Amino acid sequence: MRKMKLEEILFRIRPEYIGKDCIQTMLGYCNNLRLYGNGRLLYHSKLTKNQPYVNAYLTDSRASQFPYSTIPEHIEREFGEKYRFTNQIYDYEKPYLSVIGGKIFQETAYQYKDGALLYVRPLITYQVLDWYHDMIDNDLEKIEADSPEAASCEIVFLSPEDLVTYLNTGVKEGESPYTFVHCINLENNQEGCDIPTRQALMNQEREELMKRLRSSMGKEVFPTKGMQEELLNAILELKKLSQKEILRNYVMIKGTQDGNLELSTLQIFYRDPEQYIVWQLPIPIEKEDIEKIHQEVSRVKHFKSPKIIPKDNPNIPEGQIELEHQKVKQLRKEKRNKI
């Protein structure tokens, strides 16, 4: 069991959870969890119409060698909150991405000496993403729409349909090389997004301008609705539809044919006339040397076993919990005797 914190952590895996080519790990969450690895979605907790429940652990034959394989999920309480925990299998030296609580973590298992370590590091957080987008907003104000600088750091679409195609395929044109493309709102961990049309954006702009006019000008200044509309139309004609942010705090996760993952931040603007602008920043998913990690990471913790209390898990027979507990003891003893 582990808590997600915004720092790099090394977990020392207990012997009974170490396999020849993999380890068994356990992830806990309150509301929603996504786990990506080997170029695909491995776990998705939220039961939605667009994205049903996914759990690759249930079909991984290697799970049977580990304790608690017959209890793939359970509930534990911490500080009065209920957390759902799920068992998962990690191959050695392959990166996994967990999306939880507005944060994305890279998790990598390593064989180390006679045991195994799990390295967890934060890649991006909702708070950092918000700061990053504010920085981009400031930069956008300084860049001319047709400048070479803009062309090198943005992707331009001329219709919402073209933009939606890109968000679904990961490419502007041609056949997609990706096994999947997920656009996720880190604020709520929901997948997918609606792209408003130009008319919808103009209507929204009109409503916002009208609210500002009514709040800043008294009724004595604009006694009739017709006069308000006349002024509003004049402002819109002069102002047109300026650059307007549509999507914020999104990330794009893509799976490749060779089993790798790609991650980037995603921010989308509308720029009149009829341009949808995508700004992206790739976030590197790097394989690092375990010796270097071990020297630099200050925190090394033991990875704990589940604590399954029957009253919090009425659907799990107490006899089954006891059998798995005995399996832990047996495997631990066997591993110790081999040393």
How far out from the chain centre does Cα 42 lie?
A: 13
Can you give the pTM of this predicted structure?
Answer: 0.81
23 has a pLDDT exceeding 90: yes
What's the pLDDT score for residue 142?
47
Highest mean pLDDT (candidates 134-138, 270-274, 315-319): 315-319
144 has a pLDDT exceeding 80: no
Closest by CA position to 109, among listed 126, 96, 125: 96
Beta bridge partners of 100: 103
Sheet strands (E) in 92-130: 96-100, 103-112, 115-125
pLDDT in tens, 260-285: 999 988 888 888 777 888 888 888 89
What's the pLDDT score for residue 157?
87
Beta bridge partners of 251: 184, 265
320 has a pLDDT exceeding 80: yes
What average pLDDT is seen over the chain?
82
What's the pLDDT score for residue 40?
94
pLDDT grade for 213, boundaries at 50, 70 and 90: low
CB contact at 8 A, 338 and 19:
no
Cα 321 from Cα 68, distance rounded (Å): 8
pLDDT grade for 216, boundaries at 50, 70 and 90: low
What's the pLDDT score for residue 333?
84
Based on C-alpha coordinates, what's the Rg of the chain? 25
pLDDT in tens, 174-198: 899 999 999 998 887 788 777 887 7
pLDDT-wise least confident of 65-79, 151-165, 221-235, 324-338: 221-235
Cα 120 from Cα 117, distance rounded (Å): 10
How far out from the chain centre does Cα 158 lie?
A: 28
pLDDT grade for 34, boundaries at 50, 70 and 90: very high
Beta bridge partners of 98: 35, 105
pLDDT grade for 68, boundaries at 50, 70 and 90: very high
Cis peptide preceding 273, ω within 30 of 0:
yes
Q: What amino acid is encoded at 314 in this protein? A: P
What's the pLDDT score for residue 5?
42
Cα 71 from Cα 322, distance rounded (Å): 11
What's the pLDDT score for residue 217?
57
Which position has the higher pLDDT, 289 or 17? 17
Mean pLDDT of 122-146: 58
337 has a pLDDT exceeding 80: no
Which position has the higher pLDDT, 116 or 247? 116
Which position has the higher pLDDT, 56 or 205? 56
1 has a pLDDT exceeding 60: no
What H or E segment, with its residue span, contains residue 102?
none
